[in-house]
Amino acid sequence: MQCFKRCVLTLLALGAFAAAAAAVAAYNVAGWLRADDPPRRADAIVVLGDEPTRALTGAELYLARHAPRVLLSKPYRSPRRLLAEREGVAQPWFEEAARALLVRKGVPESAIETFGEGMKSTAAEAGALRERFPSGAPTLLVVTSPYHVRRARLILADALPHARVLVVASRHETFPDRWWADREAAPQVLLECAKFVFYFLGGRFL
């Protein structure tokens, strides 16, 4: 009986410790996910898909002369949006909307390029960038959403070991520390954590 009680108390203590650790991790996860790099001079600014307002930060970096060109991802075309387009109700695709925002903010058309085609994931974007920069040691200034910074850095560094990858969080997307109380941030954090696990287990959407 004494052994049983000790086992139960030990399990309860371990459970309480695990719950406390999980609570601390959850409380600090926003800062951990969005820990971005200070901008530096780069060979190119890379705006990952598919949130067009990321291009606003890309424009700010370009106008601050951090790089001579901006590369826009060409993400996967959703069948539902293709259907709407065929029915005459078209929405601008990511690279179209992002290009328009860049030009509106003063980035010349000649400095804007695209990379990849129909990409479904950050891993696919990393592969397309590897093809774009097959040699040398380029410095890439990558723009993405705040919640996506850490995973993007990990994936791009794995795919481009010869490159210097700096990841900057979009300044135009909110990501509060109290993410669990934010309607937009809460699902993004949960999904991002799941994607981290998926990536570490070897999962890739290409």
DSSP 54-116: HHHHHHHHHHTTS-S-EEEEEE---HHHHHHHHTT-----HHHHHHHHHHHTT--GGGEEEEE
Q: Residue 156's CB: how many other CB atoms inside 10 A?
A: 25
- pLDDT tens digits, 156-199: 999 999 999 999 999 999 899 899 999 999 999 999 999 988 99
Element at 144 (helix H, strand E): strand 139-144
CATH architecture, range 34-200: 3-Layer(aba) Sandwich (3.40)
> What mean pLDDT is predicted for residues 139-154?
97
Q: Residue 122's CB: how many other CB atoms inside 10 A?
A: 25
> What mean pLDDT is predicted for residues 43-54?
96
pLDDT at 21 over 80: no
> What mean pLDDT is predicted for residues 70-87?
94
Question: What does each C-alpha distance from 12 to 6, 22, 114, 123 come to in angstroms?
Answer: 10, 15, 55, 41
Determine the pLDDT at residue 7: 52
For 64, phi then psi, to 5°, come to -85, 5
